[in-house]
Chain A
């Protein structure tokens, strides 16, 4: 089967292609070089259209227990947001916390072909993958959460051999079928179980004595030496706390050049200036990110309206629970592994704090120079549901629209932000970097996020439209592995995406310590903790793609 996409304007930053008119050929799922002698089975005239690789969301909470807690807790989120079944698709519901099937369909309808769950608790990995298995259309993957788990904290407190720590990190990635590792409030989730209410970068954990700085450096170094492509994915200390910009700056410096990805950095860029003791730290954060090539970020932009925050950071979510809207929340301590906090939230443009949060996120987008190191996220659903991405893209690409939107927010927040002075407008090429090429490179997806021969045929084609929100809401064509799955924003074929994992080498000797640990302390056996390939392939009717890792150092 050979498909030809004829005459589109191609934006393929991984290969340096910036809006050139090109034909793209896809044979049996993969992009191939033009072969004039080959018979074309299907040709699509896409002249004048914008052609990009399928979009990749590198940080979206789509699978795992905390989302299902949110779904259970918030029937009001679903009513009025029903998705009716069709001859092709199943029914579903949801706005901020959509049902899995509805989420998969909606992502594809928006031209996304992959999404990565960033906060998979190893203890909850089986369920996270089951939920991702019930998220059709897109490729998936997940980041295993480490850093508040008692096994690692015991290793660190006992000053164990660093190789054993690396073995444990790698084993966890295998056992939980992860592609990367995330740390959330390093050590803080565990500290909260000991009734510590805050844990700053150099504060000691009451029981283990280790600090977030120790944990961050241990995990970042461990991943680098294991050859894992995606750097340590960091949800830092003090999420949401005014003044946390200092912690964020200190965190960047603490890494001393180790590769690191700071996620939803908007929530970590708050100062304490002004009458309300709440101000933007965006300029300081952006300046330091610009200076540190080892750092990448995603923003976690907030957009106004009802949403639901869901995080492994039980300590900070408990702290933020007083802002819950509606007034209910769930916290959990989980399995000597981590925790979670689910707090519904309504961001209001007439609230000074919310309005400034909105402005801070946009400031960061516009002040960070290198689009390869900043990814477009709302930290779905924490800042806003992923369905707002087209609106966010328009805010970044259209300064007139941005200025109009800014007129609507709390007047003191307008004054407190430098946003009005920022004239930058993102280009289509830059949008393609931050929604495709950048995340693919960062996650180590060898053959996704670009359009050169050899890549899988994940391709999204838009009608050019000066209203970028409308353009990115409804692509004309979406191809997944070379199959047309969406036409004019409607699903025409349902597919099941693959699960991407990374499998760094480890010494099997670590399993002896783990088996002993599980036997002594856990309520699940070591053998059953591990998620087997067959579960994803057979029970979830999925497939596994093992992405390459570098050599272990």
Chain B
């Protein structure tokens, strides 16, 4: 049985190593050019880390042991208790899902056997994209393609320097790009990105920066007005948010003149009501533009392993997240199988919460239900769960793979230090093996 280490989970190993080409798991860009020094379990980012990476790699992880009902237990005891709880459950809800590809594979095997519902903590954001993908589809790009080709970037509804700190350095304004000339200076347009976004748009390749300020919920109608201008549809109403019509006319001209325009959004930043309309409108504009020039979308999602969870779930079940295995076969319903909603509505009898990425692991929603937490030792919980099993963080404590936000590139993760913490994969597979039902 893997992961049978008992006793106090200290990190007092004697590692002292420098690791290069380290993949950062702490946002969906998954930059892999970091250098990280490991010294007795303490990690320090020595090259190419943004503030999110530093916070993620460098925070102290308290020692932790499995617990049952708030009392220390051995790992086999905790696994047996988790299996017993799942055996008793008539409708387990398996949420969080902050893990890597390997962890997600094991979670799906467990959910399949336990008849559970699986849903990621960031599924609401992913659903904004999925709804559009499943309705009309889209035309998308990837990070390297954008880095080398983009001559116009339209950023919609997100302060990228805050959300994905290295976007401008690595993607929008790289030191070198393959197709000099058109892509030499890039125009950056910010639509409804908030007041601080412009100050983060930096880099030697950045040309004009055009800020179109509006409230988040004004983004869809503003994009609608832009689309009308692009299509030469007569419109009498002025654009929303007091934007001068000339601003949209100017933007439309730049878009038509661009060789490779890229519309960038981050679904987790589009938190207003009906935000999927913004994704829909961006996708429609991109689709229209390709009739004459080249234009693509780029969605920067995938924080907290969300892209990995959605991709693995899609290839193993056919559906992105919010899948129930209760019937014995995958059943996809992005509204019904929302774990947070199901908790509120009393539609489950056990919560299994998985969250292995720090520095502040996503905590479970408030619930009175029995709860199994499998997560990073520094997860903050409002109450002691019925079973707690601390696990390592992918890419720090063990190897693995993560799917990047563009859903094309997957990155290998390194083990940077030794730790007594087990991998989620081992924990989930052992719980599955102990389930009574076949």
Contact = CB atoms under 8 A, between A and B. Distances in A.
Q: Do A and B come from one complex?
A: yes
Interface of A: 65, 67-69, 71-75, 77-78, 82-87, 90-94, 97-102, 121, 123-124, 126-127, 130-131, 134, 150, 192-195, 207, 318, 324, 327-337, 342, 520-525, 527-528, 532, 535, 539
A65 B308 CA distance: 12
A85 B149 contact: no
Given A84-B328, A331-B139, A93 B144 contact: no
Interface string B291-321: 0011010000000000000111011111110
Given A193-B145, A330-B133, A528 B316 contact: no
A101 B109 CA distance: 11
Most chain B beta carbons < 10 A, residue from A332, A336, A342: A332
Contacts of B332: 75, 78
B141 A207 contact: no
Contact of B148 (A73, A327, A521): A521
B317 A75 contact: no
A71 B174 CA distance: 34
A337 B144 CA distance: 9
A150 B408 contact: no
A72 B314 contact: yes
Pick from B142, B174, B328 the residue with the most CB of A within 10 Å: B142
B204 to A, nearest CB: 15
16 contacts: A69-B133, A71-B315, A84-B327, A84-B329, A92-B316, A94-B318, A98-B318, A99-B315, A101-B316, A123-B409, A130-B401, A134-B316, A328-B134, A333-B145, A521-B174, A523-B147
A532 B411 CA distance: 12
B23 interface: yes
Closest 5 CB pairs of A and B: A82-B329, A93-B318, A328-B137, A78-B318, A126-B410
Nearest to B176: A520
B259 A332 contact: no
Given A93-B317, A126-B401, A525-B32, A335 B109 contact: no
A328 B149 CA distance: 26
Given A83-B329, A100-B315, 20 more contacts: A65-B407, A68-B407, A69-B407, A78-B319, A82-B330, A91-B325, A92-B316, A92-B329, A93-B319, A99-B318, A130-B101, A130-B315, A328-B135, A332-B139, A332-B140, A335-B142, A524-B144, A528-B23, A535-B401, A539-B401
A54 B42 CA distance: 53
A521 B293 CA distance: 23
A521 B408 contact: no
A102 B328 CA distance: 14
B158 interface: no
Contacts of B438: 86-87
A130 B145 CA distance: 23
Interface string B396-408: 0001110100011
A329 B318 CA distance: 17
B134 A134 contact: no
B179, B259, B314, B315: most-surrounded residue (chain A CB, <10 A): B315
A318 B286 CA distance: 13
Given A334-B145, A335-B144, A123 B408 contact: yes
Given A330-B140, A335-B145, A524 B112 contact: no
A91 B114 CA distance: 12
A135 to B, nearest CB: 9
B177 interface: yes
A527 to B, nearest CB: 5
Contacts of A328: 133-137
Contacts of A73: 133-134, 137
Interface residues of B, number: 71
B177 A521 contact: yes
A54 B311 CA distance: 31
B338 interface: no
Contacts, number: 204
A43 B330 CA distance: 39
B408 A335 contact: yes
B31 to A, nearest CB: 8
B315 A193 contact: no
B378 to A, nearest CB: 26
Contacts of B177: 521
Given A126-B410, A336-B145, A528-B411, A91 B315 contact: no
B142 A329 contact: no
Given A92-B316, A99-B315, A523-B171, A130 B113 contact: no
Nearest to B179: A207
A523 B412 contact: no
A417 B239 CA distance: 57
B185 interface: no
Given A127-B403, A521-B147, A521-B148, A91 B139 contact: no
A232 to B, nearest CB: 24
B13 interface: no
A124 B409 contact: yes
B139 A330 contact: yes
A122 to B, nearest CB: 10
A539 B308 CA distance: 15
Interface in B365-417: 399-401, 403, 407-412
A92 B329 CA distance: 6
B171 A334 contact: no
Contacts of B311: 68, 127
Given A91-B330, A193-B149, A195-B259, A521 B176 contact: yes
B215 to A, nearest CB: 30
A327 B134 CA distance: 10
A406 B125 CA distance: 49
B130 interface: yes
Nearest to A331: B139
A98 B317 CA distance: 8
Contacts of B26: none
Contact of B178 (A130, A331, A336): A336
Contacts of B330: 78, 82, 91-93, 99
B109 A90 contact: yes
B290 interface: yes
B144 A522 contact: yes
A75 B319 CA distance: 7
A528 B401 CA distance: 11
Contact of A85 (B31, B137, B328): B328
B112 A336 contact: no
Nearest to B33: A525
Which has the most chain B C-beta neighbours within 10 Å: A74, A77, A192?
A: A74
B170 interface: yes
Contacts of A336: 144-145, 148, 178
Contact of B315 (A67, A78, A528): A67
Contacts of B296: 332-333
B329 A124 contact: no
B112 A91 contact: yes
Contact of B329 (A91, A127, A130, A131): A91
Contacts of B310: 72
A101 B139 CA distance: 28
A405 B314 CA distance: 36
B30 to A, nearest CB: 9
Contacts of A71: 314-315, 318-319
Nearest to A103: B315
Contacts of A65: 407-408
A142 to B, nearest CB: 15
Contact of B32 (A86, A94, A524, A532): A524
B113 A521 contact: no
Most buried by A among B137, B148, B329: B137
A83 B175 CA distance: 50
